[in-house]
C-alpha cells in the first residue's frame, strides 16, 4: 500500500494501533512538512536546495521497519555530505576574501597613506577597526601559505589570530594544519604557552613562576581576610538593625545595654583590622571620595564603627507635648553599614540612576520612557559650536539638553540674530581660522555646520581645494580641545566619490586622534521636516563611548506636507482658495538653497528643482512680502515669504532674524534645521549620559525662545489700574 494511503497511525512517528513490531521514529522536529515515500526520494523526484526551488520533504518509511530506517539514514547521510561540501566551499571562499583584503591594503597604500586606507576600510567598508591591522598582518605573514589555508578551509578567525603569533607558534600551527588538524583558536593559546616554556628552558631564562606563586598565595590570603572581615561586618550590621528596631518605650538599661557592649567589642575589632586589610589611607582616599560622591562612603563606615565601639549608638529625641526626652537608636548607623553591601536608603530606580551617574558610571537606557523630553543628567553637557549661523543647530542642541559655552560665527548679521534671540548665549563674532579657543578644552561636544559650499553642486564641489573649506580648522580644534564628542554637519556632497580622498583624510585624522567616528546621511522628512533636506553628519567620540551611540530612528508617522506646514501663514492675507492650495502642496519642499555669500539674489531653486517647487504650488523665483490677498485667483502660484521659508526650516515663528532681506534669506537657507540637530543631539546626549528620551514627544515640545522682553507689547497693555476702574 502506498504510504499516503496508509492509516495515519501506521506511519513512522508512532505505533499506537499501527503495524505490529513497527519501531517508533519521530522526525517531526527534524524534517519539513511535505511527505514523500522512500521510493520517490530514491528515484530523485525531490531535489536539494541548489537543484530546485522546492520545499524539502519529510522523510517517512515505506515497507519493512528495519530496511526503511537504514534507507532513511543513508538519505540523511547524503544530505549531510552535500551540506558539508557547501560549508567547505564557503570556508575556502572566506579564506580567499580574507587574503584579498590584505592585498587591497597593499594596492591602496600605493596611492594613499596607511592612515587613510585604515579609515577607508573601517568606516567605508565596515571592517572592524581592530581587524583591519589583522587582515594586513595576515597577508604579510601568512601569504606564502595561502593555498594551504584555502585548501583546508581554516576558519578566518583562527587565521587572524595565527597571523599575530610569533614565528615559532606560526610554524607549529602550520605543521598541524598540514597534518590534517582542524585548528581551534583556544589551541593557539596553548601552543603559545607551551612553546614559550620550551624557549625559556632552552634560552636559560629565569623561572619567574616561583615569585608569581608567592604573589598569588598572598593575594588569595588577602582576599580571604577581606571576605572574613566583611562576614564579621555583616553579622554586626544585622545586630545593629535588630537593635534599631527596639520599641522606643523599651528602656535602654539592662538587656539593651548588654547588647550594645557586645556590639562595641565586635566593632572595635573591625576598626583595628580595617587598616591592616585595606591600608591606612583607604577610607580617606581622595580618589575614592571622588568616585563615590553619594551619601555613603568608606570614611562614614569607619566613623560608624568607631561610634559603635564607643557605645555612641543612641541619640536624644525631645518632645514638647508631653514634654519628655527619649533615647532612640541612630538610624544613620544602619545605612552607613548597609552601604558596604550595596544598600541605599533611597531605593527608587531614579535615585539609583542618579547615584550611578554621580559616581561617574553611565547606566544605559535601552528604552525611552514615554513622554520624557529631556535627558536625566547630573549636569547639562556642554557644547562649543563653530560656524553657528542663525542658530538652527544651536536651537536643536539646546533642546536636546546641551549648554552652550560659546558660539563662533563670522557673519555679522547671523551673530546679531543669535544675540537678539538668546542674549544669554556667549556669541563669539570672529573668524574661526586661527582663533584661539584653548579656554574651552574639555568641552563635552564640539559641533558645527562647517561651510557646505565647497561640497555642494552650487559651489562646484571643489572640496578641500575651496578656500571656504573649514574642516582643517575643525580638526585643529578637535586636536586642541579634546572634546568627548564631535558632530560636524555638511551637505551630502561631502560623501560624493569626488570627495572620497578628502573625506578619508578627515576620518583618518580623527581616528589618529583616538576618536571613533562615522558618517551618516539623515533626511529631513524622517524627523517631521516638510523639506527634502539631506545632510551628511559626522559623529565621533573618545574611546569607550561609541558603543552607547545609535543614530536616531525615523518616525513612523509621516512629516507634514508643505501645505499642512504653511496653511495658517498662507491664509493670513484672506486668500479664499487656500484649502485648494494646501491640497496641491501635498508634497515635501526641495532643499532650500542660497546660503552662500556669493549668491546675490533670493531664489529658491536651481534649474533641476524649479519644477519640483512648481509641482507643489510654489513659485520659486524671489520671495513674497506677504500672504496672498482675498483677490488672488484660485490658480495663483504664490511665492514664499521669509517667515514661510523659516518655518520650512523649522525655526520658531518668534525667531527674529537680523539684517537685510537677502542676508536673512542666506541665514535661513544655510541653517541646519533645529529638529534634525535635536535628533542627533539627543543621540549624542544618550551616548554621554546613558539617558534616552522620547524623541517624537521631544520634537513636538515647543522650543523656548528666551529673548529680550517685548517692551513694545508691554507698553501697549492696559494698565492694571485702568482695568480696575472699568470694572
**Helix (H), strand (E), coil (C) string for 443-505:** CCEEEECCCCHHHCCCCCCCHHHCCCCCHHHHHHHHHHHCCCEEEEEEEHHHHCHHHHHHHHH
Residue matched to cell numbers 616554556: 197
**DSSP assignment string, 322-379:** TTEEEEEE-THHHHHHHGGGT--S---HHHHHHHHHHTT--PPPSSPPTT--S---SS
The three cell numbers of residue 125 are 567598508
Give the Cβ contact number of residue 402 at 10 Å. Answer: 27
User: Which residues, at least 6 apart from 707, have a Cβ–Cβ distance to it below 8 Å?
Assistant: 420, 421, 422, 423, 654, 656
Q: Give the span between the Cα atoms of 552 and 641, in whole angstroms.
A: 31
For the chain, the residue count is: 727
Say whether 452 is catalytic.
yes
**DSSP assignment string, 561-576:** PHHHHHHHHHTTT--T
Cα diameter, the chain: 111
Q: 3-state class of 426 per DSSP?
A: coil
Phi, psi for residue 216 in degrees, rounded to 5: -65, -40
Q: Give the span between the Cα atoms of 50 and 673, in whole angstroms.
A: 51
658, 124, 184: which is closest to 389 by C-alpha? 658
Q: At what angle do helices 65-108 and 129-142 cross, to 10 degrees?
A: 90
Burial class, 2, CB count within 10 angstroms (exposed 0-12 / middle 13-18 / buried 19+): exposed
Q: Give the span between the Cα atoms of 596 and 600, in whole angstroms.
A: 9
Q: Give the span between the Cα atoms of 515 and 503, in whole angstroms.
A: 15
Round the CA-based radius of gyration of the chain to a whole number and report it: 37
Q: 3-state class of 136 per DSSP?
A: helix
**Helix (H), strand (E), coil (C) string for 53-84:** CCCCEEECCCCCHHHHHHHHHHHHHHHHHHHH
Catalytic one among 136, 270, 452, 618? 452
What DSSP designation does 429 have? Answer: E
The three cell numbers of residue 182 are 582542524
User: Which residues, at least 6 apart from 331, have a Cβ–Cβ distance to it below 8 Å?
Assistant: 244
CA distances from 701 to 7, 557, 689, 695, 697 (A): 68, 16, 21, 10, 6
The three cell numbers of residue 653 are 515663528
The three cell numbers of residue 270 are 573591625
Region class of 599: left (phi > 0), else alpha (psi between -120 and 50), else beta = beta
CB 656 within 8 A of CB 664: no
Work out whether the CA dihedral 652, 656, 658, 661 comes out positive or negative: positive
CB 503 within 8 A of CB 490: no
Q: Give buried/exposed letters for 144-167 (b at 16+ CB in 10 A, else e).
A: ebbeebbebbbbbebbbbbbebee
User: What residues are annotated to the active site?
Assistant: 452
Amino acid at each position: 500500500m502506498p504510504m499516503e494511503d496508509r492509516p495515519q497511525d501506521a506511519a513512522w512517528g508512532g505505533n499506537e494501533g499501527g503495524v505490529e513490531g513497527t519501531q517508533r521514529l519521530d522526525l517531526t522536529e527534524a524534517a519539513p512538512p511535505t511527505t514523500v515515500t522512500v521510493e520517490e526520494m530514491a528515484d530523485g523526484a525531490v531535489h536539494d536546495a541548489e537543484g530546485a526551488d522546492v520545499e524539502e520533504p519529510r522523510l517517512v518509511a515505506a515497507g519493512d521497519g528495519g530496511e526503511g530506517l537504514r534507507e532513511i539514514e543513508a538519505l540523511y547521510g547524503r544530505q549531510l555530505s552535500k551540506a558539508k561540501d557547501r560549508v567547505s566551499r564557503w570556508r575556502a571562499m572566506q579564506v580567499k576574501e580574507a587574503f584579498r583584503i590584505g592585498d587591497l591594503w597593499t594596492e591602496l597604500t600605493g596611492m594613499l597613506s596607511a592612515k587613510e586606507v585604515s579609515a577607508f576600510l573601517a568606516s567605508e567598508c565596515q571592517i572592524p577597526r581592530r581587524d583591519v591591522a589583522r587582515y594586513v598582518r595576515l597577508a604579510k605573514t601568512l601569504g606564502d601559505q595561502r593555498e594551504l589555508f584555502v585548501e583546508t578551509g581554516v576558519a578566518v578567525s583562527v587565521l587572524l589570530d595565527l597571523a599575530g603569533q610569533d614565528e615559532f607558534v606560526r610554524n607549529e600551527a602550520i605543521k598541524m594544519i598540514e597534518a590534517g588538524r582542524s585548528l581551534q583558536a583556544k589551541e593557539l593559546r596553548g601552543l603559545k604557552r607551551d612553546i614559550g616554556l620550551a624557549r625559556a628552558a632552552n634560552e636559560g631564562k629565569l623561572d619567574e613562576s616561583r615569585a608569581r606563586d608567592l604573589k598569588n598565595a598572598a593575594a588569595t590570603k588577602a582576599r580571604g581576610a577581606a571576605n572574613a572581615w566583611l562576614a564579621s561586618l555583616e553579622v554586626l550590621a544585622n545586630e545593629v538593625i535588630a537593635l534599631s528596631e527596639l520599641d522606643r518605650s523599651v528602656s535602654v538599661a539592662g538587656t539593651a545595654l548588654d547588647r550594645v557592649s557586645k556590639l562595641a567589642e565586635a566593632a572595635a575589632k573591625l576598626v583595628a583590622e580595617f587598616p591592616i586589610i585595606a591600608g591606612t589611607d583607604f577610607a580617606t582616599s581622595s580618589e575614592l571620595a571622588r568616585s563615590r560622591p553619594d551619601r555613603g562612603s568608606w570614611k562614614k563606615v569607619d566613623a560608624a564603627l568607631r561610634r559603635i565601639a564607643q557605645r555612641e549608638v543612641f541619640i536624644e529625641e525631645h518632645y514638647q507635648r508631653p514634654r519628655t526626652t527619649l533615647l532612640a537608636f541612630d538610624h544613620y548607623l544602619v545605612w552607613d553599614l548597609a552601604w558596604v553591601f550595596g544598600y541605599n536608603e533611597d531605593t527608587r530606580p531614579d535615585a539609583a540612576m542618579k547615584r550611578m551617574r554621580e559616581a561617574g558610571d553611565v547606566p544605559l537606557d535601552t528604552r525611552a520612557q514615554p513622554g520624557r523630553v529631556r535627558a536625566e543628567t547630573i549636569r547639562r553637557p556642554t557644547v562649543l559650536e563653530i560656524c553657528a549661523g542663525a542658530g538652527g543647530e544651536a536651537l536643536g542642541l539646546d533642546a536636546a539638553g546641551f549648554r552652550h559655552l560659546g558660539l563662533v560665527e563670522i557673519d555679522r548679521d547671523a551673530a546679531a540674530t543669535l544675540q537678539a534671540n538668546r542674549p544669554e548665549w556667549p556669541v563669539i563674532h570672529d573668524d574661526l581660522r586661527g582663533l584661539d579657543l584653548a579656554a574651552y578644552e574639555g568641552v563635552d561636544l564640539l559641533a558645527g555646520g562647517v561651510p557646505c559650499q565647497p561640497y555642494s553642486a552650487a559651489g562646484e564641489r571643489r572640496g578641500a581645494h575651496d578656500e571656504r573649506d573649514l574642516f582643517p580648522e575643525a580638526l585643529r580644534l578637535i586636536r586642541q580641545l579634546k572634546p568627548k564628542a564631535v558632530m560636524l554637519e555638511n551637505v551630502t556632497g561631502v560623501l560624493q566619490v569626488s570627495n572620497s580622498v578628502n573625506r578619508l583624510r578627515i576620518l583618518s585624522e580623527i581616528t589618529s586622534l583616538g576618536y571613533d567616528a562615522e558618517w551618516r546621511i539623515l533626511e529631513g522628512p524622517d524627523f517631521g521636516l516638510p523639506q527634502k533636506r539631506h545632510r551628511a553628519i559626522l559623529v565621533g567620540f573618545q574611546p569607550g563611548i561609541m558603543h552607547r551611540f545609535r543614530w536616531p530612528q525615523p518616525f513612523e508617522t509621516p512629516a507634514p506636507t508643505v501645505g499642512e506646514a504653511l496653511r495658517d501663514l498662507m491664509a493670513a492675507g484672506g486668500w479664499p482658495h487656500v484649502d485648494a492650495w494646501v491640497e496641491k502642496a501635498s508634497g515635501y519642499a526641495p532643499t532650500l538653497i542660497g546660503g552662500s555669500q556669493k549668491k546675490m539674489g533670493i531664489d529658491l531653486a536651481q534649474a533641476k528643482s524649479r519644477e519640483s517647487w512648481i509641482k507643489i504650488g510654489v513659485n520659486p523665483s524671489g520671495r513674497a512680502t506677504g500672504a496672498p490677498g482675498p483677490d488672488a485667483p484660485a490658480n495663483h502660484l504664490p511665492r514664499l515669504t521669509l517667515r514661510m521659508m523659516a518655518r520650512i526650516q523649522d525655526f520658531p515663528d518668534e525667531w527674529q532674524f537680523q539684517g537685510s532681506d537677502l542676508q536673512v534669506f542666506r541665514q535661513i537657507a544655510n541653517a541646519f534645521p533645529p529638529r534634525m540637530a535635536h535628533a542627533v543631539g539627543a543621540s549624542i546626549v544618550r551616548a554621554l549620559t546613558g539617558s534616552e528620551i522620547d524623541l517624537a514627544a521631544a520634537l513636538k515640545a515647543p522650543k523656548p525662545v528666551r529673548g529680550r522682553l517685548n517692551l513694545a507689547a508691554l507698553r501697549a497693555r492696559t494698565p492694571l489700574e485702568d482695568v480696575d476702574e472699568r470694572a
